[in-house]
Homo-oligomer: A and B are copies of this chain.
Amino acid sequence: MSQDTATPAYDQLASTWTRLHRLEHLQAIAGWDQAANMPPKGNEARAAAMAEMAALLHRTITDATLRDGLERAEQEPLLDWQRANLREMRRQWRLANALPESLVQRQQLATSRCEHAWRSQRPANDWAGFVANFREVLALAREEAARLSQAGGLTKYDALMDRFEPGMTGARLDTIFGEVRRWLPDLVQRVRERQAAEPVIAPQGPFPLARQRELCEQVIRRLGFDFEAGRLDVSTHPFCGGVPEDVRMTTRFGDDEFLGSLSGTIHETGHGCYEQNLPRAWLGQPLAQARSMALHESQSLAFEMQLGQHPGFVTHLAPLVSAAFGTQAAFAPQNLHRLLTRVVPGLIRVDADELTYPAHIILRYEIERALIEGEIEPEDIPALWDAKMQELLGLDTRGNFKDGPLQDVHWSAALFGYFPCYSLGAMYAAQWFAAMRRATPDLDERIGHGDFAVVFEWLRANIWSQGCRWSTDELVVRASGQVLEPAHFKAHLETRYLG
């Protein structure tokens, strides 16, 4: 950066963030390696190396000179995009600086103890053992919420959610989820009745892993993922990591099943395409990052649910499946579509279908918000969980902690405020497709003809290329003409499942 610009403070900040971006690159690749490659005895040294890097990044963004730099830069004659970048810098700075180092360290200890124990407590159905560790995690999360709330002027739960979904509030979620709550149980009931009359043929395995991998790679290519700038590998818990310039997606394969891996891979490809298509001109700056976690989920769910389970897409998927595993009656397009869209209320969130998924989220949102606001304590969770599962999905989960509140890692890891992003993402995805249909009235025919580019081009123009240029609400209005409107999600479900 030149010393002679009219924006020396901004330029200095930009160069700090470029440095953060480069170091985070190594952190991201090492993090992916840890999940995809690392042998077990590498764990201790890797953890120490990752902690060293985390401390270095934290020191960089809490450097005392940044406060003054941000203030001076705000007085400089910036271009609009620079001002947006500065807004995002300040946001990251505020989040990092709101918490004292000692709290961060105590949280790291408490969450890693709780998460480590949870890995064996879950299979052992040991709720009491979990609560013993979780109490400390919750206490520290409440302290974090109080500090972030003070720094950002938000309620406690909103302050935690703001880390993942800036601008979203509990008040808005109450309205959004409150509405879904009203129509969801009845809709599930009607769809279940209808599907009971639709026979479905189960695929016959085994499905060789090498064939599954080839199939996934073919589908990923059709979805526009650039293998010159990314990879697909295997890990226990599928995720999308790496950096925008080199996206590392993972999946998992078992030879008795293929649809779950395939859908999961399509899901990760949505995340991957978002990352690969973030605005190149700003790479290294906050402006070039994904807008929020709900927006990120809106991409994975646009790929997995809106496009990936679209009847037109499935007609093009079916021959690839037959080519991979040999012809079966189960692979006929109609049957494949029925397999993909089968609605079965179940206890496990990550196995849930598109229709019952929001019930899992609403339940968790209501419980975690009450936990953070101090309205309930950990020992109140099981009764609430049971009541809500009964109310929303008609399922009895009493005493089954391992398939109840012990099923997710999020709370052990203090990721309070993250769960809503999944369902917000599903709603945004429905809203994107509604907007696409207004712009391209023959969208569904085009998808049926295998022209998926129309979807990718809309997402690229309206979401991917925008990075953090706008607040989430502004981005959503620019893209679809209105802020989040869950009616699109309801309409999508009714059309797909009852239409």
Interface residues of chain A, those whose CB is within 8 Å of chain B, are 19, 22-23, 25-27, 29-30, 33, 37-42, 44-46, 48-53, 56, 226-231, 243, 245-246, 283
Contacts and interface: CB of A to CB of B under 8 A. Distances in A.
B25 A33 contact: no
A230 B246 CA distance: 24
B39 A230 contact: yes
B29 A228 contact: no
A16 to B, nearest CB: 12
Contact of A42 (B38, B39, B50, B246): B246
Contact of A25 (B45, B229, B231, B245): B45
7 contacts: A19-B52, A23-B53, A30-B30, A38-B246, A39-B231, A42-B229, A46-B245
Given A19-B52, A22-B48, A39-B227, 16 more contacts: A22-B45, A22-B51, A25-B46, A26-B49, A29-B29, A29-B30, A29-B33, A29-B46, A33-B33, A38-B246, A39-B228, A39-B229, A41-B229, A42-B243, A42-B246, A45-B245
Nearest to A248: B37
Given A29-B30, A33-B29, A245 B42 contact: yes
A376 B39 CA distance: 49
Contact of A245 (B19, B41, B229): B41
**Among A23, A26, A227, residue most surrounded by chain B Cβ atoms (within 10 Å):** A26
Contacts of A49: 22-23, 25-26
Contacts of A56: 23
A23 B44 CA distance: 14
A246 B45 contact: yes
Given A23-B49, A45-B246, A52-B19, A228 B40 contact: yes
A230 B37 CA distance: 9
- 8 residue pairs, one from A and one from B, having the closest CB atoms: A42-B246, A45-B245, A41-B229, A25-B49, A22-B52, A22-B49, A26-B26, A41-B228
Contacts of A246: 38-39, 41-42, 45-46
Contacts of A39: 227-231, 246
A458 B475 CA distance: 67
A229 B41 CA distance: 5
A26 B22 CA distance: 12
Contacts of A23: 49, 52-53, 56
A53 B40 CA distance: 26
Contacts of A226: 41
A41 B227 CA distance: 9
B245 A37 contact: no
A27 to B, nearest CB: 7
Contacts of A46: 25, 29, 245-246
A227 B51 CA distance: 25
Contacts of A42: 229, 243, 245-246
Nearest to A44: B245
Contacts of A30: 25-26, 29-30
A396 to B, nearest CB: 43
A25 B230 CA distance: 23
A29 B47 CA distance: 13
A476 B22 CA distance: 42
A452 to B, nearest CB: 22
A50 B37 CA distance: 20
Nearest to A32: B33
Nearest to A276: B41
A22 B23 CA distance: 13
Contacts of A27: 26
Contacts of A40: 228-229
Contacts of A52: 19, 22-23
Nearest to A48: B22
A245 B226 CA distance: 33
A37 B32 CA distance: 12
Nearest to A40: B228
B41 A53 contact: no
A296 to B, nearest CB: 20
Nearest to A24: B49
Contacts of A45: 22, 25, 243, 245-246, 283
A26 B41 contact: no
Contacts of A26: 26-27, 30, 49-50, 53
